[in-house]
Amino acid sequence: MVNLTFAEITSLLGQLWWPFFRFSAAFMSMPFFGNAYMPNRVRLLLALSVSIIAAPLLPAMPEVDPVSIHALAIALEQIAIGALLGISLHFLFAAMAMVGQIISMQMGLGMAMMNDPANGITVALIGNYFLMFTTLMFLSLDGHLVALDIVVQSFERFPVGSGISETSLRYMIGLFSWMMTAAVSIALPTIAAMLTVNLTFGVMNRAAPSLNVFALGFPMSMILGLCAVLLSLSGLPSIYAELCHQILSEMKLMGGN
């Protein structure tokens, strides 16, 4: 008969318990895993399964009394680290949604909004298209597996009980400017095309005041805007792959090796 002490039992449970908090927070905050259509029970079961599978790969966990204030602080720390890594991926999806929003405004479709049930928000028509494109490309590039591997590696950079470094927070803040830069760089060709169209209609209005340019300009702006979007789709996968590589690299700098 094997006799286990209370310290040994808590040590064995801690090898699963602390990673479970971090994986749960990551799955709750990550795109795709954190969408509204995925039940919380599925995410928690997935976090528990990953914790059990990754347990042999993780470093030894500290022995902490599970009913102490220290244990509560460690649990909150793991939730914060997991949420930090998960939220960083949202910047990639937010950048693509912003591309659609910018293009919709340039095409005159800023008022045409539709509900996004996955995220519980309303987005522009073109923005919803870019969100679906982003999700499919992210899964096809195995981005979800790479993100999961980065969360596992984060236990080397941020051992349980070590806290969150200032460098990781600095990287997170820098992702805001990265998101804006990525969105504008992708939408820039369409913005330039629509600006040319608007300037052309302005010249036409000055040259022929009797011509109803506004009645002609709105449908032409939509048609030419859709043509510009279709022409930009050929180079979008390579641009997206580069952006995905950049955001995963930022995640590695924050939580991986």
Domain boundaries, the chain: 6-255
Provide the residue-wise pLDDT of the chain in tens; the chain has 257 residues.
Answer: 456 565 566 666 767 788 888 888 888 888 777 777 777 888 888 888 888 888 888 777 777 776 778 878 888 888 888 888 888 887 877 777 777 777 777 776 666 666 665 556 666 677 777 778 778 877 887 778 878 887 888 787 777 777 676 766 777 777 777 777 777 777 777 778 778 877 887 777 777 777 776 677 777 777 777 787 777 777 777 777 787 777 777 777 765 55
Q: What is the pLDDT of residue 250?
A: 74
Residue-level pLDDT at 39: 79
DSSP readout, the chain? -----HHHHHHHHHHHHHHHHHHHHHHHHSTTTTSTTS-HHHHHHHHHHHHHHHGGGSPPPP---TTSHHHHHHHHHHHHHHHHHHHHHHHHHHHHHHHHHHHHHHHT-TT-EEEETTTTEEEEHHHHHHHHHHHHHHHHTTHHHHHHHHHHHHHHHS-TTS---HHHHHHHHHHHHHHHHHHHHHHHHHHHHHHHHHHHHHHHHHH-TTS-HHHHHHHHHHHHHHHHHHHHTTTHHHHHHHHHHHHHHHHHHHH--
Per-residue pLDDT at 2:
54
Other Cβ atoms less than 10 A from the Cβ of 170: the count is 11
Residue for token pair 């490309």: 137
User: What is the predicted pLDDT for the residue at 80?
Assistant: 85
Distance CA 55, CA 33 (A): 21
- The per-residue pLDDT for 122 is 67
**In this predicted structure, what is the pLDDT of residue 255?**
57
Q: What is the pLDDT of residue 47?
A: 86
